[in-house]
């Protein structure tokens, strides 16, 4: 069976993978769902020093200290920036990269540049708390922004969202071992509604055709956990 590290997106935490992780573990896989520094159960670590590099170091450190090898590294949304950086830092420990409706950055690109329309809209809510510039302040009904509209799941999600340090979106991803990182197999699970903003030819070429889409909200790991877990299990069996 495979080892998965599931990396969440902006404003989320490891909690968002609970339904998918339960399904993967039931299939016999080892699953890690870390929360990135300053978010969710690690919100008490919030500081002005947190950047994209911090979050890359979070995941690269987990791979190193848990002595993992052949890991299937999954990133959702902003998490695509993080897993690209972590696979670049520790290519010898990663066996597959999976982009879950995620950012797919180039070297030297920030998420702000990569997904300008969405991130610029979020930037309008920029605010300062204790010297930290934050965006995506949680509020009732915010889960709907991520496509979670179920009357039970929506409030559950709202109660767990946390604000994101703006620097994470603004800092450019600087790759160190891009050739080795790109050589790691990759797959893409995409929400149908976001396909128009992607270079599907590039994704199909680089993933050797491993691109699947589903018509659901951006938080597909919450809205369609069976589909996501089934695809991840299939990737593990390649």
Q: Model confidence at 188, in pLDDT bands (50, 70, 90)?
A: very high
d(CA 210, CA 220): 17
- pTM of the entire structure? 0.98
Residues 6+ apart with CB under 8 A from 53: 85, 171
Mean pLDDT for the stretch of residues 93-122:
96
* Percent of residues, the chain, with pLDDT higher than 70: 100
Out of 77, 193, 196, 207, the active site residue is: 77
35 catalytic per annotation:
no
Mean residue pLDDT of the chain comes to 97
Q: How confident is the model at residue 55 (pLDDT cuts 50, 70, 90)?
A: very high
Nearest C-alpha neighbor of 17 from the set 95, 74, 66: 74
What pLDDT score was predicted for residue 41? 98
Angle, to 10 degrees, between the axis of helix 52-65 and the axis of helix 79-89?
A: 50
DSSP string, 15-78: GGGHHHHHHHHHTT-EEE-PPPTTSGGGGGG--TT--HHHHHHHHHHHHHHTT--SEEEEEETT
The three-state (H, E, C) secondary structure of 153-181, written as one string? HHHHHHCCCCCEEHHHHHCECCCCCHHHH
- The answer to whether the beta carbons of residues 83 and 174 sit under 8 Å apart is no
Per-residue pLDDT, 149: 97
- The predicted pLDDT at position 30 comes to 98
Q: What is the DSSP letter of 9?
A: -
pLDDT of residue 8: 98
* 184 touches 96 (CB < 8 A): yes
> pLDDT value at position 178?
98
What pLDDT, on the 0 to 100 scale, is given for residue 181?
Answer: 98
| Res 95: pLDDT | 98
Number of alpha helices (DSSP H) and beta strands (DSSP E) in the chain: 11, 9
Average pLDDT, integer, range 151-180: 98
Domains (range + CATH), the chain: 3-109+172-236 (3.40.50.1820)
What integer is the mean pLDDT of 158-169?
97
């Amino acid at each position: 069976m495979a080892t998965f590290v599931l990396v969440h997106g902006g404003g989320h935490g490891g909690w968002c993978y609970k339904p998918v992780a339960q399904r993967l573990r039931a299939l016999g896989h080892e699953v890690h769902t870390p929360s990135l520094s300053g978010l969710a159960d690690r919100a008490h670590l919030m500081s002005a020093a947190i950047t994209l590099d911090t979050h890359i170091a979070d995941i690269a450190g987990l791979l190193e200290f848990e002595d993992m090898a052949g890991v299937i590294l999954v990133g959702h949304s902003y998490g695509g920036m993080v897993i690209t950086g972590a696979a670049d830092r520790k290519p010898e420990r990663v066996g597959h990269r999976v982009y879950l409706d995620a950012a797919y950055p180039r070297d030297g690109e920030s998420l702000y540049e990569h997904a300008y329309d969405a991130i610029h809209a979020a930037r309008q809510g920029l605010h300062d708390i204790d010297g930290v510039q934050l965006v995506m302040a949680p509020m009732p009904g915010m889960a709907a922004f991520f496509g979670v509209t179920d009357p039970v799941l929506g409030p559950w999600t709202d109660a767990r969202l946390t604000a994101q340090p703006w620097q994470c979106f603004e800092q450019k991803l600087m790759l160190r071992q891009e050739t080795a990182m790109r050589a790691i197999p990759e797959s893409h699970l995409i929400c149908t509604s976001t396909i128009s903003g992607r270079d599907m030819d590039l994704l199909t070429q680089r993933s050797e055709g491993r691109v699947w889409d589903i018509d659901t909200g951006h938080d597909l790991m919450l809205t369609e956990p069976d589909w996501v877990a089934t695809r991840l299990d299939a990737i593990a069996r390649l």
